[in-house]
Amino acid sequence: MGIENFPEQLRAAIQQGFLAREFETGLQARLGFRAVADREVFPNAIGETLTKTRKSLKAPVTEPLLPTGNTNFDNGLSPSGWSVEQYTLSINQYGDTIDLNMVTTGVGIASQFLANAQTNGLQAMQSLDRLARNALFAGVPGGVGGYLGGNTRVTATATAKATTVVVDDIRGFQFVIAGGQVRPVSANPGMTVTIGSGVYTLVSAVADPHNISTAPGGISGQLQLSGSVAVSDATAGNAVIAAVAPLVLRPNGKKTTAELRQADGDTLGIQHVLAGVASLRRNNVPMIGGAYHCYLDDLQLLSLFRDPDFKYLYRGAYGSEEYRSGQVIELLGVRFVPTTEAPQQVSLGGGPIHRALLLGQGALIEGDCACIGHSDIPDAERALIDMIDGVAMVTREPLDRLKQIIAQSWYWIGGFALPTDVTADVSIIPTATNAYLKRGVVIESLGTDAAGFGV
């Protein structure tokens, strides 16, 4: 498609790259959850699900070889292999469009043309950022759950011993990893869970027909255990935690979200962030550009600025632009990134719940379809397509009967996946945890407003 099919006042913007520049400005308006994703290109078609396998490391050798065994062609050595683990990635298409009527726009057509491009870029950025956020917190279909998975509470007290427990969220309890493959939880393989103070074996997780979960994106349901659960454990409010659940930190050692209380001072402090950093380092999680990323909303950031320990550590930077403006700051190996996309949750009695997410490299994988922007139609006949950060910006000439309406669209084909680190166990990293997902830590807390009150 030649640009001669566009109005004269728009050709300069197209020729000089103004259109793509405005779209890119919107697309990269601020740092988001997508920034932590490792990008890979996949050849799969829309609607397909790709299963990827990655290998583990081998355990270190600390025993010397026996001199008497150093014979024959193998020198006394027996081959050993490495384990594998899998993750799934679904490829889907996302996009939207906006029309520009050249007649009704009048003399402002050029500025409106660029404004539409920037608006599309902002929408594309926020859409992909939210998809990345949802994958991190909630997990992906057929996966082991996100960084909120495997950590919930009992919502209905049992009247007698039973093998069923009603919980607020079954994410993280639906699948286990056995033999390097993700499988539905069953009697074989089962999952070890702690309910209250008792340890049980989970054999099934069933979602409610009508979801009443209070967690963001949660799925309420019932957990089926291999044996009866004591009434003292199956009591409403008790914590239910999978042995392979990611770490969720809360102030003052609170075990569930519903236990958070403003009266107890359950707000975010630097000590909670440092505890999360310690967990990432225990699992040997690499940093992202020299620091771990901590995504948090503005009220959690305000709580952090009010924390005495934070003030002491950041004392020399009070005059910095980051402190004055409340923007991205770096401290103790952590890059604090304010975001408006952090999951919000209404009060459970103690106040609205806020969640910060501390991440290391490799926590998220973005799969971009190789066919984005591809067309078999010759360039002279197809729409104008620009690729900006993996997103296709499509500008179509007027094709309506009156030759008045220009279509400005964007689309992205891909998906996000959460790779696990189940094979990074204590035989390879002595300080490793049992969590399937080791590269992130959720910190739940209440917020603080400008006057110091909980919100």
344 and 387 housed in the same domain: no
Residue 252 forms part of a structural domain: yes
- 415 pLDDT above the threshold of 70: yes
- 323 pLDDT above the threshold of 50: no
pLDDT > 70: percent of the chain: 79
Q: State the average pLDDT over residues 156-169.
A: 94
Residue 321: which H helix or E strand, with range? helix 321-325
Please work out, in degrees rounded to the nearest 5, the angle formed at the alpha carbon of residue 213 by the alpha carbons of 210 and 215: 150
pLDDT at position 382: 46
Domain count, the chain: 2
Q: State the average pLDDT over residues 60-65.
A: 72
398 and 441 housed in the same domain: no
232 and 97 housed in the same domain: no
pLDDT at position 380: 44
pLDDT at position 339: 87
Residue 64 forms part of a structural domain: no
Q: What is the pTM for the complete model shown?
A: 0.83
Q: What is the pLDDT of residues 65-87, one digit of tens each?
A: 777 777 776 677 777 665 656 66
100 pLDDT tier (thresholds 50, 70, 90): confident
Residue 11 forms part of a structural domain: no
Given a contact cutoff of 8 angstroms between Cβ atoms, the answer to whether 364 and 132 are in contact is yes
261 and 178 housed in the same domain: yes
Residue 108 forms part of a structural domain: yes
112 and 135 housed in the same domain: yes
List the CATH number of the domain containing 401: 3.30.2400
127 and 251 housed in the same domain: no
- 409 pLDDT above the threshold of 90: yes
| CA distance readout (Å), 116 to 19, 87, 242, 387, 406 | 9, 38, 47, 16, 11
309 pLDDT tier (thresholds 50, 70, 90): confident
**Is the link from the previous residue into 43 a cis peptide, with omega within 30 of 0?**
no
Which residue did the predictor score with more confidence, 193 or 388? 193
134 and 254 housed in the same domain: no
335 and 403 housed in the same domain: no
**Which string of DSSP letters, residue by residue, matches 242-308?**
ETTPPPEE-GGG--SGGG--GGGT-B--HHHHHHHHHHHHHTTPPPBTTBEEEEE-HHHHHHHHH-H
Given a contact cutoff of 8 angstroms between Cβ atoms, the answer to whether 420 and 439 are in contact is no
Of the candidates 130, 132, 134, the residue with the CA atom closest to the CA atom of residue 145: 134
**Count of C-beta atoms within a 10 Å radius of residue 330:** 13
Residue 379 forms part of a structural domain: yes
Q: State the average pLDDT over residues 104-121.
A: 79
pLDDT at position 157: 95
Residue 157 forms part of a structural domain: yes
Of the candidates 209, 213, 200, 211, the residue with the CA atom closest to the CA atom of residue 161: 200
371 and 360 housed in the same domain: no
360 and 379 housed in the same domain: no
228 and 266 housed in the same domain: yes
With the C-alpha atoms ordered 431, 436, 439, 442, is the resulting torsion angle positive or negative? negative
Q: State the average pLDDT over residues 221-226.
A: 96
197 pLDDT tier (thresholds 50, 70, 90): very high
Q: State the average pLDDT over residues 328-357.
A: 84
Classify strands 292-296 and 248-249 as parallel, antiparallel or unpaired: unpaired
Residue 314 CA to residue 332 CA, distance in Å, equals 10
Residue 73 forms part of a structural domain: no
pLDDT at position 173: 96
271 and 133 housed in the same domain: no
Q: Give me the chain's average pLDDT, please.
A: 82
Residue 400 forms part of a structural domain: yes
Q: Which residues contact 332 (CB under 8 A, 6 or more apart)?
A: 270, 273, 274, 277, 313
| Domain of 216, in residue numbers | 151-364+423-446
